[in-house]
Amino acid sequence: MFDGFIGLVRDIYKTEAFIPLHEPRFVGNEKQYLSNVINSTFVSSVGPYVAEFEHKIADYCGAKHAIATVNGTAALHVALLLAGVKAGEEVITQALTFVATCNAIHYCGAEPVFVDVDGSTLGLSPQALANFLDEFGERRDDGLWNRLSGKRIAAVLPMHTFGHPCDMKGLMAVCQHHGLPLVEDAAEALGSLCTLSPDDAGEENVTKHCGTFGKLGVLSFNGNKIITTGGGGMILTDDAELARQAKHLTTTAKLAHAWRFAHDQVGFNYRMPNLNAALGLAQLEQLPAFVERKRALADRYLGWAEANGVQMIKEPNGAQANYWLNTLLLDDALQRDAFLEFSNAQGVMTRPLWELMPDLPMYRNCRTDGLRQSRWLADRLVNIPSSVVF
């Protein structure tokens, strides 16, 4: 099986050289737009490409507002603040995620609480969330409190893992029942869609982009994402006032004035530079083709997996994934480790799952629900090369 996999990947990418997990593709107007920015001298956050990138991302995702930031973690930090997360409170999230999800919670002075994921989506499980809140949630006049910790539960933060949409129908229902704001970490899910059936959305199916279901959502344009700005992120929201606050906070809370430097609160220097936005615009022009090619790549991997008796993570029912990172589900940790060692020794980069968040020293004391499914998956999941193929 291992030899066959290496042969497949080398045939897909048509090279005998090292094959990375995910690298960017610059085949459009990137150099032209970057040259335009340099010639204009507006290379920082003041420049027309920033506003244009925000407008076109909002249009692509179907959001009313988009606010560009220097990276996805900064976007998450501000989104959580705007959702009302305060120091000393808790945010419920998943342990199966990249560390930025939890770091953003920590930046707010809050603490993550980890509940389990669904095996079908790799995202936060509505049932696990409901079970935790039913057992430990206590409704008070000023919100929902965790009777175990004595802290207020401020928000729920699911992550669309590897571009596979979470069960948004279930998560929205639980959050609505308990009166909790939903903030989506869609850092990996640009180009991923989820469909709400008639009983959720009215008379007809409604298909929406990941990051547009909650009060706020967040995208990432890191160098390994489906499109990149080098480093960058985006806050999505339909709330005009939240959008105004997001832009204000990410621009050092500076009041508009021709020459005075007046600031009305503690803000952050989080705005995306014009250089990065120009790169992002050129990449965005290619995004539909990138998604199409990544889905075709996933189909090829799925064909190989089925022919060889290997499980592969497929997009959930009612969803269309961007297949940001294709993922195999192996038999156990021993097979996973053998596969990782063999493939990387052959110059084909593969990667295990991130360390589960409560296994990291800074989050070791955070509460969990046991994370049975998360730990089972962590022993078996492997990411395989997923760069766009031309």
Report the CATH number that the domain containing residue 202 is assigned in CATH: 3.40.640.10
Asked if 297 and 345 sit in the same domain, the reply is yes
Asked if 294 and 275 sit in the same domain, the reply is no
Asked if 266 and 298 sit in the same domain, the reply is no
- pLDDT of res. 202: 54
Locate tokens 């508009």: which residue?
Answer: 256
CA separation for the pair 134, 128 (Å, rounded): 10
Record the tokens describing residue 71, joined without a space. Answer: 């990276």
Domain with 332 in it: 2-25+287-354
Asked if 163 and 250 sit in the same domain, the reply is yes
Asked if 255 and 342 sit in the same domain, the reply is no
Asked if 185 and 294 sit in the same domain, the reply is no
- Long-range CB pairs of 14-20 (<8 Å, 24+ gap) are 17/347, 18/347, 18/348, 18/349, 19/347, 19/348, 19/349, 19/385, 20/349, 20/385, 20/387
Asked if 231 and 312 sit in the same domain, the reply is no
Average pLDDT over residues 226-247: 98
Report the CATH number that the domain containing residue 14 is assigned in CATH: 3.90.1150
Judge whether 367 lies within some domain: no
pLDDT at 201 > cutoff 60: no
Q: What is the DSSP string of 236-290?
A: EES-HHHHHHHHHHHBTTBPP-SS---BSS---B-BPPHHHHHHHHHHHTTHHHH
- pLDDT of res. 358: 98
Mean pLDDT rounded to a whole number for the chain? 96
Judge whether 202 lies within some domain: yes
Band the pLDDT of 204: cuts 50, 70, 90. Answer: confident
Judge whether 131 lies within some domain: yes
The number of distinct structural domains making up the chain is 2
CA separation for the pair 235, 218 (Å, rounded): 5
Asked if 192 and 304 sit in the same domain, the reply is no
Judge whether 377 lies within some domain: no
Asked if 257 and 300 sit in the same domain, the reply is no
Asked if 166 and 298 sit in the same domain, the reply is no
Average pLDDT over residues 286-313: 98
Domain end, chosen from 286, 320, 335, is at 286
Q: What is the DSSP string of 317-370?
A: TTEE---SSEEEE-SSHHHHHHHHHHHHHTTB--EEPPPPGGGSGGGTTS-BS-
Asked if 216 and 321 sit in the same domain, the reply is no
Residues 6+ apart with CB under 8 A from 7: none
Judge whether 372 lies within some domain: no
Asked if 91 and 227 sit in the same domain, the reply is yes
Contact 94, 375 (CB under 8 A): no
Of the ranges 25-34, 197-206, 331-340, which one carries the lowest mean pLDDT score?
197-206
Judge whether 368 lies within some domain: no
Judge whether 382 lies within some domain: no
Judge whether 366 lies within some domain: no
Q: Per the confidence metrics, is the pTM higher than 0.85?
A: yes
